[in-house]
């Protein structure tokens, strides 16, 4: 059973913009410049639109969560993340400035899972063994985006938040448990699984899309994934 979903915040005009230290190193194997995340100095500017503080923001590839979400994650014992408080330096929206300012946290993902490299493209992934960047052939049909991302669940450390260990990219993944909490507490502004056309989850879905606020989101999503990738469900135990 696939239980890991990509997660990010919808980036509306009122999104928070965060900046923090970024260290760039050179990979000794392939020479590529690699960015190393730093969470030491996280600062925020609030854009000029919007009247409600969202539960999630996505900024510069980072997952940024409202304090009420962190409180629930901590209380429920979800694992695989570290929350770094962000300093809000400026709020341009008068409507937001008139309200109490919540604490936001930038999420450092600490859990991990491996991806099946054979599923990335027809070349076995072409992954650098040191920095795990993918470098597909110029004429590969999957040069710009992989065929599909299939986690090897036997390598999953069980964390509720994970990154891919053997492929370097900005995507973050979460457990079903996290989306159940988003449904239960009616969290705003999330998008799950956006990179899978037709099988994403939104707060307010586009036409034909699914909402994570629907208590039957998991059953409906499973049906869609099954229709699109039936081979992933043909296991010995099914």
Query: Quick one: CA torsion of 194, 196, 199, 205, rounded to 10 degrees?
Result: 30
- Of 22 and 51, CB closest to Zn ion: 22
In angstroms, what CA-CA distances link 232 with 11, 85, 173, 190?
31, 39, 18, 26
Residues 113-152 close enough to bind Zn ion by CB under 5 A: 128, 130-131
Give 3 or 30: the residue with its C-beta nearer to Zn ion. Answer: 30
Minimum distance between the CB of residue 171 and Zn ion, rounded to whole angstroms? 18
Q: Would you say 29 or 60 has its CB closer to Zn ion? A: 29
Instruction: Write the interaction track for Zn ion spanning residues 169-208; mark x where CB under 5 A is met and - where it is not.
Output: ----------------------------------------
Distance spanning both ends of the chain, measured CA to CA: 9
Smallest distance from the beta carbon of 29 to Zn ion, in angstroms? Answer: 4
**Binding map of Zn ion across residues 69-108, x = CB under 5 A, - = no contact:** ----------------------------------------
Decide whether 22 or 130 has the Cβ nearer to Zn ion.
Answer: 130
Size of the chain, expressed as the number of residues it contains: 238
- Write out the binding residues for Zn ion, residues 10-39 only, by CB under 5 A: 27, 29-30
To Zn ion, the closest distance from the beta carbon of 166 in angstroms equals 12
- Nearest approach in angstroms of CB 183 to Zn ion is 39
Q: Which CB, 168 or 176, lies closer to Zn ion?
A: 168
The DSSP line for 88-109 is EEEE--HHHHTSPPPPEEEEEE
Instruction: State the minimum distance, in angstroms, from the CB of residue 168 to Zn ion.
Output: 8
Tokens linked to 200: 């994403």
One DSSP character per residue, 39-89 reads -SS-EEEE-S--SS--SEEEETTEEEEEHHHHHHHHHHT--SEEEEE-EEE
Instruction: With CB under 5 A as the rule, give the number of residues binding Zn ion.
Output: 6
Pairing of strands 87-91, 104-109: unpaired
Q: Minimum CB separation from Zn ion for residue 136, in Å?
A: 14
Q: β-strands 151-152, 111-115: how paired?
A: antiparallel
Q: Which residues bind Zn ion (CB under 5 A)?
A: 27, 29-30, 128, 130-131
């Amino acid at each position: 059973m696939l239980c890991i979903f990509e997660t990010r915040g919808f980036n509306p005009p009122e999104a928070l913009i965060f900046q923090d230290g970024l260290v760039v190193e050179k990979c000794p194997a392939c020479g590529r410049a690699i960015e190393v995340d730093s969470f030491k100095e996280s600062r925020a500017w609030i854009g000029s639109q919007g009247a409600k503080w969202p539960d999630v923001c996505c900024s510069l590839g980072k997952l940024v969560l409202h304090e009420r979400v962190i409180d629930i994650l901590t209380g429920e014992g979800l694992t695989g993340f570290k929350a770094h408080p962000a300093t809000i330096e400026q709020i341009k929206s008068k409507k937001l400035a008139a309200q109490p300012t919540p604490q936001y946290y930038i999420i450092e993902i600490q859990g991990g899972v491996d991806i099946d490299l054979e599923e990335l493209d027809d070349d076995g992934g072409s992954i650098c063994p040191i920095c795990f960047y993918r470098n597909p052939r110029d004429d590969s049909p999957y040069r710009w985006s992989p065929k599909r991302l299939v986690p090897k669940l036997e390598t999953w450390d069980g964390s509720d938040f994970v990154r891919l260990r053997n492929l370097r990219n900005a995507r973050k993944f979460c457990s079903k448990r996290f989306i159940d909490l988003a449904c239960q507490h009616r969290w705003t502004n999330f998008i799950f699984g956006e990179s899978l056309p037709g099988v994403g989850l939104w707060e307010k879905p586009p036409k034909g899309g699914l909402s994570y606020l629907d208590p039957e989101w998991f059953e409906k999503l499973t049906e869609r994934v099954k229709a699109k990738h039936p081979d992933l469900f043909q296991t010995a135990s099914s």
